[in-house]
Structure 1
Amino acid sequence: MESLFKTGEFAELCQTTKNTLIHYDHVGVLKPTEVGENGYRYYRPNDLFRFKTVRALTDAGFTLQEVRSVFSEYDPDTLGRSVAEHRAELRAHIDRLAHAASLLDEIDRQISSNREAEPGAFFLEERPDRLIINLDCPVDSMWLKGADAALSDGKAMETLERISPEASLSLYGLKAYDALERGRICYDGGFYLLPESVTFEEVVRLLRSESHLCDESQLETVPAGTYACISEVGPQKKAAAVHARLLEEVGRRGLRPCGPRYEVISFRLSDVAPGRVYRFVVSVRCEPADA
């Protein structure tokens, strides 16, 4: 005689709850093999396959009413269309989850990096080649102003969105070649710093395939090397003092700056926080002065 499971036993076998099995019975997608005079439900071992089928279909987006129709009114054409629709929805959902996971990974990376940098601290670090997308408009501060700046920034942000989820959270910054004039920084341009995972080739392919994005000439490689850095917390008017101190520290250590100074925010989401807390790092590639 075939062994039967009580509701609790079968629920344990299915790794679900008694209430779920009772609900499935009421809806009509999984009825018990027997119902005793005492009202107890009993299930056969092969009812497990039906349960797993119900769970697989609901996980794929089918409602319980749709699952019931699959079992009671089986029609290959109707079922085929329904499967195709739910498969497309499921794949779109998977894509959204993957996109969200990538964004969280980048936010976590920025948070970890921000924690490691002590405000006001000077340090040297080795950096690999990094890509930046330059804005094709003049800038005078981290907060872009004017129609030209808005248009350039809009194109850059659309480009970042098309590159990857991580790139959409690229840190942005300013660069300055010249020494300070009367304590004031003369910025030479703004840019977005792409994640290390992004390659030059893939960005070039994208820019060449879609004309409404940034121009290929805006793409630049920041060379690898030893960088002198100072991290700080805003307001941005402190930036001039940080630039000046960075150059002093570089000279004090027998080094010489090579190329522009980069002023980059250290956490992208800080610019949407109340009060727009400005967390930034100023850095410059350097070499021994006698090299």
Structure 2
Amino acid sequence: MSNLRIAIQKSGRLFEDSVQLLKECGIDLRNVKDRLRTESDNFPLEVFFLRDDDIPQYVEDGVADIGIVGENVVFEKNRQVEITEKLGFGKCRLSIAVPRSQEYDSIKCLEGKRIATSYPHMVTSFLAKNNVTAEIHEISGSVEIAPGIGLADVVADLVSSGSTLFMNGLKEVETILNSQAVLIKNKQLQPFSISLLDKLLFRIQAVKKAKRNKYILLNAPNDNLEKIISLLPGMKSPTVLPLAESGWSSIHSVLSEDQFWECIENLKAAGAQGILVVPIEKMVI
């Protein structure tokens, strides 16, 4: 059987998370350090380590069947690939930033400005959508210093915490794109590759669901059992087991991260005791 070929970043902010995701999916990889290619020992997967900017083209051309790359790269390169799954890591945003001393009322303040960016395609599209005409200066790396050295008036760059912008005297004023790592695929995959991709996606989705949920165990007085169960919005019906101590039961359920703290407070108020919270490694529904 042929392998499914995946391209991931050879270095940079998505490399470690991409390799970790594959490992969490139960895929063993041989030594990945300083390699351009490797194979899994227990899943028909071949991994290529590439520059992130090149991944969409490799996938479009069919050199790789699938790839893990930031949405910002997918939209900037504008290749004919399909986003199959959002992966939840590598989150950032492509933002426009201006000097902190500059007043900014609306996007019309960008009219006629010089904008330094490594993302000319997305910035040009964003300006056109908002009927703004500006001068794009395409540069690679250290975009945030452009206003300080007189190269540009404004920058459009990736932002995570915003600390780099702050240190360079800039403030965010517009968000062009909220980005995260995504799994992309070639639009003309062969049936055997589609089958392998479906198996990989099944594993990825199980890992993602596990990260968004917690397994909870608690002790509840039987005279308040129905109320406590009603407070648990987990999967289907919770498991209820009698305790050795008369009048008490143990309840097992699953809570999502979004509901977790509020639900715990309500459970305690309803009389739940001995609440134990356990991380979930995989979650198959």
TM-score, shorter chain, exceeding 0.5:
no
Q: Which has the higher helix share?
A: 1
In our comparison, the structure showing a higher alpha carbon Rg is: 1
TM bucket (normalised to shorter chain) is under 0.3
